[in-house]
Copies of this chain bind each other. A is one copy, B any other.
Amino acid sequence: MTAEVRERPLDKRRGGSKVRERRHPSVVPPGLEGGWYKPLRDEDVKRIHEASLEVLERTGIEVMPSECREIFRQAGARIDEEQDRVFIPRSMVEDALATARNEVVLCGRDPRHDIRLGGWRVHMGTGGAAVKVIDLNTGRIRKSRLADVARIGKLVDALDNIHFYLRACVAQDIPEEWLDVNTYYAALTNTTKHVTGNCFTAKSAQDVIEMASMIVGGVERLRERPIVSFVSSWSVSPLRYAPETVEVLTELVRQEMPVFLSSAPQAGATSPAALAGTLVQINAEELSGITYTQLVKPGAPVVLGYVPAVSDLRTGNFVGGAPEFALMQAAVAQLGRFYNLPVYNSAGITDSKIPDVQAGYEKGISNMAAVLAGANYIHHAAGILESTLTVAYEQFVIDDDINGSVMRMVRGIEVNEKTLSVDLIDRVCQGGEGHFLGEQQTLEMMTTEYYYPHIGDRQTREKWRADGGLNMAARARRKAKQILKTHQPQPIPPEIDAAIRERFRILMPLELANLE
């Protein structure tokens, strides 16, 4: 960690990380580098940092009597027993920032989908804990089920611009006792991309770690190639620790599993209405989490999990489609770069109930903010509607095109002797064809310079109408059905799958793919 604002080296501004670019001949590979957009002045980043340290020293965190509190005490934090508050000194935070990992690697079952969080490298994926689904066949709203977790995994597997799979909806049709393991199982068996979830108990965390270990060949191998990671909502804003969740967090950190420290204060409700104040508070919460986890295990792979949120102050409703939400998602990417630590944040939420024009612009705006700012792990960025309460199959397909477009923005404009095209312009204009249609550069750049949407329409009105005159949501429904019908994700080897089914109570039928 360095407390300096790192300026991005010039030669790093172009293209994705080399490893990824070699593997993805795509126009928009995962891991392209952001950092183009900075909503905070550098000096404002420092002021927020300083204010957060002041909050931790002066206001502290509410921590009930627990192992966690003892860990803080032993490290030298002052405890107010009566108020149940832990006051964290600046030096303790600084020590933690020094041992925290500057990069966290997340792996896919298929190594082509490995992700290296850190720097300005941008990855976009799903997220949320939606409880409702727009049924793909009936178009009706219904409760989300385990089969949805599986089928959405299949969509994620098939769609190039969704880079990881954080379970997006809750399986409400299975007993809570088996929820965590089955959610991870449904995700892992349907995509070879990295899978993130959460665990409600230390026991289920151990189960998920064991299951993932069986897939990769042991827990040591899993630490090297973590195909699973965990979101921990250990903090309840403002500045309170959730006792049971902290226990799970502690277990995950001891197991050296990648963890996202998710905090989501709502400006005007659980954090100040002033956006800057919400940033101060969430940053204090995050720094306390980094400090705690580094006390538990120095070098543990934890990720700053900033989700500074907004409510509509007229109604109190959480509004993830608000521009102020998008602004803050970009701001926290800057905070992460300030600490040189990887950042998890949110984009792609809409407050619309359906995939309409509102869903489109709210997603376009917040995605642009988060990716241009260079956040590393942007979740909610596929499938989400209704302020995260609902997912829709077609929305994953739509969002794949949105993500492709904004990733093209992240790639930026390559400026070099060749692209400046001075000789080409001269040749075309002085005695040449007077246009660039057949030029070699045009033919070459056709497949390297431009992102082509797969569902976004670019036809003439006449052709569009002849094709049925469908809106994008209808076209996406058609494509989602086709993917679910035809796409076969690389399966887990049958003997491993059998062993998992023997060891755990797996509720997913083997023939899920045939359910459609």
Tell me if A351 is interfacial: C-beta within 8 Å of chain B.
yes
Q: How far is the CB of A132 from chain B (nearest CB, A)?
A: 8
Which residues on the B side are within 8 Å of A444 (C-beta)?
273
**B326 contacts A37, C-beta separation under 8 Å:** no
**B458 contacts A40, C-beta separation under 8 Å:** no
Q: Kindly identify, within residues 399 to 422 of chain A, every residue whose CB is under 8 Å from any CB belonging to chain B.
A: 401-402, 404-406, 408-409, 412-416, 418-422
Which residues on the B side are within 8 Å of A367 (C-beta)?
365
- List 10 interface pairs A-B (beta carbons < 8 Å), by A numbering: A10-B43, A48-B415, A239-B425, A268-B442, A315-B458, A324-B449, A327-B408, A358-B471, A365-B367, A389-B461
**A430 contacts B317, C-beta separation under 8 Å:** no
Tell me if A288 is interfacial: C-beta within 8 Å of chain B.
no
**B472 contacts A426, C-beta separation under 8 Å:** no
Binary contact track A364-407/B, C-beta < 8 Å → 1, others 0: 11011100100000000000001101100000001001101110
Q: How far is the CB of A235 from chain B (nearest CB, A)?
A: 13
Q: How far is the CB of A362 from chain B (nearest CB, A)?
A: 7
Q: How far is the CB of A315 from chain B (nearest CB, A)?
A: 7
Binary contact track A333-369/B, C-beta < 8 Å → 1, others 0: 0000000000000000001111111111111110111
Q: A436-B269, A450-B313 are in contact. Are A277 and B413 (CB under 8 A)?
A: no
**B368 contacts A446, C-beta separation under 8 Å:** no
**B270 contacts A323, C-beta separation under 8 Å:** no
Cα distance A54–B401 when bound, in Å?
38
**B360 contacts A356, C-beta separation under 8 Å:** yes
A351 touches which of B270, B425, B456 (Cβ 8 Å): B456
**B457 contacts A273, C-beta separation under 8 Å:** no
> A-side interface residues toward B, CB under 8 Å?
10, 13, 36-41, 43-44, 47-48, 51, 54-55, 58-59, 62, 83, 85, 132, 141, 238-239, 267-277, 279-281, 284, 310, 312-317, 319, 321-324, 326-328, 331, 351-365, 367-369, 372, 386-387, 389-390, 398, 401-402, 404-406, 408-409, 412-416, 418-422, 424-426, 428-430, 434-437, 439, 441-442, 444-446, 449-452, 455-461, 464-465, 469, 471-473
Cα distance A422–B367 when bound, in Å?
30
Q: How far is the CB of A263 from chain B (nearest CB, A)?
A: 14
**A44 contacts B415, C-beta separation under 8 Å:** yes
Q: How far is the CB of A26 from chain B (nearest CB, A)?
A: 14
Q: A270-B435, A274-B421, A461-B386 are in contact. Are A10 and B41 (CB under 8 A)?
A: yes
**A239 contacts B429, C-beta separation under 8 Å:** yes
Q: How far is the CB of A180 from chain B (nearest CB, A)?
A: 27
A277 touches which of B43, B425, B430 (Cβ 8 Å): B425
Known contacts A277-B424, A363-B364; 11 additional CB pairs below 8 A are A36-B39, A267-B436, A273-B441, A274-B414, A276-B420, A284-B425, A323-B406, A356-B471, A358-B471, A362-B405, A364-B364
**A446 contacts B317, C-beta separation under 8 Å:** no
A361, A363, A441: most-surrounded residue (chain B CB, <10 A): A361
Q: How far is the CB of A167 from chain B (nearest CB, A)?
A: 21
**B446 contacts A313, C-beta separation under 8 Å:** yes
**A446 contacts B314, C-beta separation under 8 Å:** yes
Q: A280-B425, A312-B452 are in contact. Are A327 and B273 (CB under 8 A)?
A: no
Which residues on the B side are within 8 Å of A83 (C-beta)?
430
Which residues on the B side are within 8 Å of A62 (C-beta)?
429
**A369 contacts B281, C-beta separation under 8 Å:** no
Residue of B nearest to A424 (CB): B272
Which residues on the B side are within 8 Å of A419 (C-beta)?
272, 274-277
A445 touches which of B268, B270, B420, B461 (Cβ 8 Å): B268
Q: How far is the CB of A91 from chain B (nearest CB, A)?
A: 19
**A277 contacts B44, C-beta separation under 8 Å:** no
**A445 contacts B361, C-beta separation under 8 Å:** no
Which residues on the B side are within 8 Å of A437 (C-beta)?
268-269, 316
